[in-house]
Structure 1
Amino acid sequence: MITRDIGAFVSRARTLAHDFGPPTARGAFLVAPDGFRLAAESARDNRYMAEHDGFDAARASDEHRALHRALAQVVPTICFPGDPDAPDGLFPNNVFATGQGRYIVGRMRHAVRQREAARADIRAFFGGVLDYAEIDLSDQVHPCELTGALVIDRARGIGWCGLSERCDDIGAQLMHEAFGLRATLLFDLAPGEYHTNVVLAVLAGRAALVCPRGFADPAVVDALVSLYAPHAILLSEAEHAAFAGNAIALSHQVAWMSEGAGAALSPATRQALADADFEVRTVPLTAIEAAGGSLRCCVGELF
């Protein structure tokens, strides 16, 4: 099922057991922020990006190495070199993603990011080293920026796909099929939002961090609350602005987010995460966040 009908989606999702696959990844991959700078094309529809003088390449590189070290304590984590001609390349989850025995290459909206999909070394790693089958969506015309646009509950095999300039309805259909999902809900993001994973995180299939202002239709927020209760956690505007919604669980007990996001969490949000059996761990990412994404954007998952 792939639908805009919220009621039908919720009814279908309620019937699905947590048996689609592992709720968290067995490994992670990163791409180093080589050539870190403002990508003017991307800035046209990413309001979170800083101006030129807000970019500090050396500091971003230091932060990224610290992120690699931190994640490697939880799951095996590899890092590919960056491409100086692809300044957004440190956000690889938009371009490459994995599923059961497959890897998927997304279609990026902007030309500056489309070149990332052509990287032979990353494709060779997935196809040659891991022996994953390839599903290449990069040559068709419909934008589908993978797990930036599509937040996946890997336990139940359901997707939450926010439509914007970065993903249209046909791109969403292609991703739904590529990931082999059981049910996907299509909805519009609020004006000014570019990716779903900035306003929603599903943590290990049992909790959700939700930024209500990021959704055009409040009924989508209600659906999230109904499916993830009692661990549907609504974030404040301050938490949203600090990228608290851009979090990820790479294991059953740890929710990762940036240090700035962690500092913005209210006591109630921290308690709600603890009630869901999540420890919050953070990494300083102030320099990287100038590029309009945060910790989850940096992390590709290996399933």
Structure 2
Amino acid sequence: MLITRDPQAFLALTRRLAPDAGPATARGVFLVSPDGFARAEESARDNVYMASTGFDAGEALAEHRALHQTLSTQLPVVAFAGDAATPDALFPNNVFATVPGRVIVGRMRHAVRQREAARADIRGFFTGLLGYAETDLSSQPHPCELTGALVIDRARGIGFCGLSERCDAQGAALMHAAFGLRATFVFDLAPGEYHSNVVLAVLAGRAALVCPDGLAEPAPLIALLQALYGRHVVLLSPAEKQAFAGNAISITPEAVWMSQGAADRLEPGSQAALRQAGLAVRSVALPAIEAAGGSLRCCVGEIF
């Protein structure tokens, strides 16, 4: 297993890998309801996407219910209750993630989010009900906010980890090992960016969305993505990124899911590139939820 900042070393290994590490998309997903939806002041310190006002709990709950109902037409969806003491819990992919037969618990930077990792119901769902083993990173000192910081190509078993205040180099190494990845490329996010999954998405193992504006040094990562995914790499504009077009996910092999606001801001070239990759754009309106600084992908935890 290789974890590196060297793009040539990463590419020398990954370009030889077959897409046989596992399924490219999940067999189910889980959500956490935005009960007690409100601005989390701690999280706002390093999340520039979070609104300062205008948090509407009723609208957020309605949007989340619509998201649940819509995703349920595609694959099984499990929804857990939220808690006013953890207002960011509607973004569970940062705290809980899975590989086949195992659940991983991340170490969050902020105390308001560290409380989420202690939830016995979510842990118990995976360990007690599904019988998954547990890898618990939550009590060690290095922030590693799971699939917020680490974007994974599940088919190839490789990852792209952006460092910020939400994930340091040791945290990246811990996640690389926890997910059992064949290779991880580590890079720096641009100042002000908090999570990789706002500026980068790998879609069904065959396409990628990336916003150069969100990377400290865009060229190496973009070159890697183009070597792996060819013409199916979509370069997002700053306006597309700001609308959360990079916060997208493929939960089935034939589609990419993002918020309605993100889909509306997709430029014609981006739309065409996704069509050429065989990915239909599907969306759900999430304007109230996006006030909390995340969008559709952040709401979706994957069950492998």
Tell whether the structures are fold-level matches, with TM greater than 0.5. yes
1:251-294 deviation digits (Å, cap 9, x = unpaired): 01111000000000111111111100111111000000000000
In structure 2, the residue matched to 1:13 is 14
Structure 2: how far apart are the matches of 1:120 and 1:24? 26
In structure 1, the residue matched to 2:140 is 140
In structure 2, the residue matched to 1:29 is 30
In structure 2, the residue matched to 1:62 is 62
Alignment of 1:159-198 (within 5 A): 159-198=159-198
**One-letter identity of the residue aligned with 2:116:** E
In structure 1, the residue matched to 2:245 is 244
Deviates most, 8-17 or 143-152: 8-17
**One-letter identity of the residue aligned with 1:272:** A
State the Cα distance separating 1:227 from its structure 2 match: 1.5
1:215–1:221 CA contact under 8 A, matched in 2:
no
- TM-score (norm: length of structure 2): 0.98
SS of the counterpart of 1:192? coil
1:90–1:298 CA contact under 8 A, matched in 2:
yes
Unmatched 5+ residue regions in structure 2?
A: none
Structure 2: how far apart are the matches of 1:247 and 1:61? 20
Aligned length: 302
In structure 1, the residue matched to 2:82 is 82
In structure 1, the residue matched to 2:206 is 206
Structure 1: how far apart are the matches of 2:149 and 2:255? 23
State the Cα distance separating 1:81 from its structure 2 match: 0.2
- TM-score (norm: length of structure 1): 0.99
State the Cα distance separating 1:84 from its structure 2 match: 1.1
1:220-244 deviation digits (Å, cap 9, x = unpaired): 1222122111201111111111000
In structure 1, the residue matched to 2:73 is 73
SS of the counterpart of 2:50? coil
**One-letter identity of the residue aligned with 2:58:** A
In structure 1, the residue matched to 2:96 is 96
State the Cα distance separating 1:144 from its structure 2 match: 0.2
Unmatched 5+ residue regions in structure 1?
A: none
Structure 2: how far apart are the matches of 1:11 and 1:246? 28
Structure 2: how far apart are the matches of 1:297 and 1:11? 31
% identity of equivalent residues? 68
After TM superposition, what 4+ stretches of structure 1 lie above 4 angstroms from structure 2?
none
Structure 1: how far apart are the matches of 2:26 and 2:255? 13
SS of the counterpart of 2:176? helix
Structure 2: how far apart are the matches of 1:162 and 1:300? 19
State the Cα distance separating 1:121 from its structure 2 match: 0.3
In structure 2, the residue matched to 1:222 is 223
State the Cα distance separating 1:151 from its structure 2 match: 0.2
In structure 2, the residue matched to 1:256 is 257
RMSD: 0.6
1:176–1:184 CA contact under 8 A, matched in 2:
yes
Alignment of 1:94-133 (within 5 A): 94-133=94-133
